Amino acid sequence: MGSPDWDLLSSYAGILTLACVSVYAGSFGSLPVRSPLKSEESDGLYIDTSQKPEPTDGSPSEDEDEEITERMSINDAWLFPVFGSCVLFGFYLVIKYLGKEWINWLLSWYFSIAGVASVWKSSISLTRFILGDVFWKRFERISFIIKKGSSTLTSLSWRTPALLLFPVAAIPSLFYSFSGSHSQSVWVTNIIGLSFSHNALSLLKIDSFYTGAALLTGLFAYDIWWVFGTEVMVKVATTLDVPIKLLWPKSLVLSSERGFTMLGLGDIVVPGTLIAFALRFDHHRALQSKRPQQETFPKPYFYATLTAYVVGLVTTMCVMHFFKAAQPALLYLSPAGIFSFFLTAAIRGELREALAWSDTPETAPGQAAAERKRTELDRM
């Protein structure tokens, strides 16, 4: 038996680290931002700050930067493999019959522009996390409002650090578009790709465990068919030079001579949606407890599904390494995520509650109290 290939093992470790950091950050980014009701009637309950009413003068509210996002339903989940297959096969036909040069040129510019917005949003989230909400809200808010008569057509609002971060966020896309060094563009690709996955996990929220199971099951079959049944997936993934994947050099000194280990963003975002849902369920359970004011809370479902993700990804890499063939990561990640959540609920005796919980804005604790408070204020 030969000595271990430390260069290759280091690349697996690098990709695994990037994927886990992305899932971890994106999961916490999907949590609702809540603040305590400062009222004797609130009894310490929390409300979602994104549910506050807009000011009547059309100016952006204090917490307008907290977005209310639609949840993915089970019907949406079943359509994902269908639309994904159409897009994937369309790319394959374009590459096969029209060549890769112009599609790579077009997509590179598209993702460069989208990358500016994505990196900007992620950098704002990171800065806000580092500074803390209290300190962040001390900065001045700059608003742009377009009105027609008394009605507001649109309004945009940012705090001053966000505006200062915009030119910084444009740097990765500029490097990606104009840098002639492939080794530099790899790390820039990772920065843009990590921001894409972070924002996707923050915004793409499933509404229940059943939706997550349907999404993972459908894309489980999708991945197996397009990887094992055809050359389509491997051909498209290795041909398109766009930041929709993470790359790590197969070298301890980060040299690009031996190539790169690759992981598609879909293998982060798709299982990550269930991991983020598990964290929101942990958060929901904490808010239902007698100590909702605590900033930290137990996360058994989150850690169980995140651990299962690590095990599934390591398994993928081991199989790929020993069989010397590309592997559909969701073949291992999908069942790992579904069964880890289900088994955790069963072991804890919370199976009925976990399967029945629906993550919708209306179910936020304190929401009813907040609505009553607003109604009373409107009547005054």
**Rounded CA separation 1/22 (Å):** 35
Closest by Cα among 192, 214, 177, 201 to 119? 192
Q: Is the separation of the CB atoms in 240 and 101 below 8 Å?
A: no
Residue 12: HSE in the Cβ half-sphere, 13 Å Cα cutoff: 17
- Our answer to whether residue 267 is catalytic in this structure is yes
Sign of CA dihedral 159, 161, 162, 166: positive
Write the secondary structure of 204-257 as one string of H (helix), E (strand) and C (coil): CEECCHHHHHHHHHHHHHHHHHHHHHCCHHHHHHHHCCCCCEEEEECCCCCCCC
Helices and strands in the chain, H and E counts: 13, 8
**Size of the chain, expressed as the number of residues it contains:** 380
Residue whose tokens read 């990550």: 272
Residue 105: HSE in the Cβ half-sphere, 13 Å Cα cutoff: 5
Q: Is the separation of the CB atoms in 27 and 302 below 8 Å?
A: yes
Cα 154 to the chain's mean position, in Å? 27
**Annotated catalytic residue within 48, 65, 207, 267:** 267
Q: Could you tell me where the beta strands, DSSP code E, fall in the chain?
A: 34-36, 46-48, 71-72, 141-148, 151-159, 205-206, 245-249, 260-264
**Annotated catalytic residue within 48, 65, 223, 359:** 223
Residues recognised as catalytic: 223, 267
